[in-house]
């Protein structure tokens, strides 16, 4: 499974978020830490091991309080996913959940306290005026239509880093095939499919709902490079992709063809109706070529 996992870890390292945020690299430490945090949290849930999670979360808070705050929100959501996809329902389940939840809360708070050597001076510095640089409205509005975000998953689809920009979501064309195949994979449990869909929905709706988006950004509207937590959606989706790719006997060439066909249809619709920030030569024809290559590769891998 090692080479297969490396495929998607490479996609994570080269996703559009990483490329665009080279201009602001102070946030990338948390992006690097996220897979370690997810793994550490899984180890805590499964067997009570807490050291990796605690050390990495502390380092994340120290590295950057701002993205660290967003990561703390995500790991809270991920805890419930990790626990309920691995627990055995039955006698003692409630007691075991309480034990793991207390452990998760204790070591999360401990990480924040150990990081206070940086967090407290930062907090007092922010009270000098930085927390009032904007006066955002907390009225609930839809920031964009869900269909509008689909082109941002495609190769070369970049709009702007200004406030009107859409989330940065490109994470590799192969992932666009493998993510739907996760839900078509017969070897993956219905419980995991349902809970992962909830996590993806929470992250997606967070971007579209203005008030929730403000909460993710520390109750301040970003003045550029918005949706700064979008790498968490990409990271979680790539974990699902990798799990499906590790079980190629769970889907068929027909399901691969169906998923690829839907994406090809979407690309033709984008070319027909147009998206102003998409270059037809790069995004349309480039994506069609990549989908053709990955279709052949994934279909041939089916067992």
Joined tokens for residue 209 = 């709902």
| d(C-alpha 191, C-alpha 135), whole Å | 42
Q: Is the dihedral of CA 101, 54, 28, 46 positive or negative?
A: negative
CA 99 remoteness from chain centre: 27
What integer pLDDT is reported at residue 44 of this predicted model? 95
What integer pLDDT is reported at residue 129 of this predicted model? 62
Cβ-count burial of 301 within 10 angstroms (0-12 exposed, 13-18 middle, 19+ buried)?
middle
Q: Is the dihedral of CA 111, 113, 114, 119 positive or negative?
A: positive
**Per-residue pLDDT tens for 140-173?**
888 888 888 899 999 988 888 888 889 999 999 9
| d(C-alpha 73, C-alpha 44), whole Å | 17
Q: Which residues contact 158 (CB under 8 A, 6 or more apart)?
A: 16, 20, 277
| d(C-alpha 284, C-alpha 268), whole Å | 8
206 contacts 229 by C-beta, under 8 angstroms: yes
CB atoms < 10 A from the CB of 252, how many?
16
What integer pLDDT is reported at residue 4 of this predicted model? 81
* Local confidence pLDDT in tens for the 303 residues of the chain: 678 889 999 999 999 999 998 887 888 999 999 999 999 999 999 999 999 999 999 999 999 999 999 999 999 999 999 999 988 877 778 888 999 999 999 999 999 999 999 989 888 887 776 555 566 778 888 888 888 889 999 998 888 888 888 999 999 999 999 999 999 999 999 999 999 999 999 999 999 998 999 999 888 888 788 899 999 999 999 999 999 999 999 999 999 999 999 999 999 988 888 788 888 888 999 999 999 999 999 999 886
DSSP 102-137: HHHHHHHHHHHHHTHHHHHHHHHHHTTTGGGS----
238 contacts 11 by C-beta, under 8 angstroms: yes
């Amino acid at each position: 499974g090692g080479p297969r996992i490396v495929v998607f870890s490479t996609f994570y390292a080269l996703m559009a978020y990483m490329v665009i945020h080279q201009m602001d690299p102070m946030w990338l430490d948390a992006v690097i830490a996220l897979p370690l945090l997810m793994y550490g949290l899984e180890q805590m849930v499964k067997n009570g091991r807490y050291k990796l999670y605690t050390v990495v979360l502390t380092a994340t808070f120290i590295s950057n309080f701002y993205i660290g705050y967003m990561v703390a929100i995500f790991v809270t959501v991920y805890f419930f996913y990790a626990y309920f996809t691995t627990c055995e329902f039955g006698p003692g389940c409630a007691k075991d959940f309480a034990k793991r939840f207390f452990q998760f809360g204790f070591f999360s708070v401990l990480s924040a306290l150990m990081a206070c050597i940086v967090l407290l001076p930062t907090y007092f510095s922010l009270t000098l005026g930085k927390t009032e640089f904007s006066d955002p409205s907390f009225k609930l509005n839809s920031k964009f239509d869900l269909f509008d975000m689909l082109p941002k998953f495609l190769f070369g689809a970049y709009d702007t880093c200004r406030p009107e920009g859409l989330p940065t979501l490109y994470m590799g064309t192969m992932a666009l095939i493998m993510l739907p195949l996760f839900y078509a994979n017969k070897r993956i449990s219905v419980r995991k499919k349902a809970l992962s869909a909830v996590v993806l929905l929470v992250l997606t709706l967070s971007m579209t709902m203005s008030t929730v988006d403000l909460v993710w950004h520390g109750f301040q509207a970003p003045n550029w490079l918005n949706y700064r937590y979008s790498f968490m959606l990409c990271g979680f989706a790539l974990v699902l992709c990798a799990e499906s790719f590790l079980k190629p006997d769970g889907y068929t060439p027909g399901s691969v063809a169906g998923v690829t066909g839907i994406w090809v249809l979407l690309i033709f619709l984008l070319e027909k109706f147009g998206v102003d920030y998409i270059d037809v030569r790069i995004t349309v024809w480039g994506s069609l070529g990549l989908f053709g290559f990955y279709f052949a590769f994934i279909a041939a891998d089916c067992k």
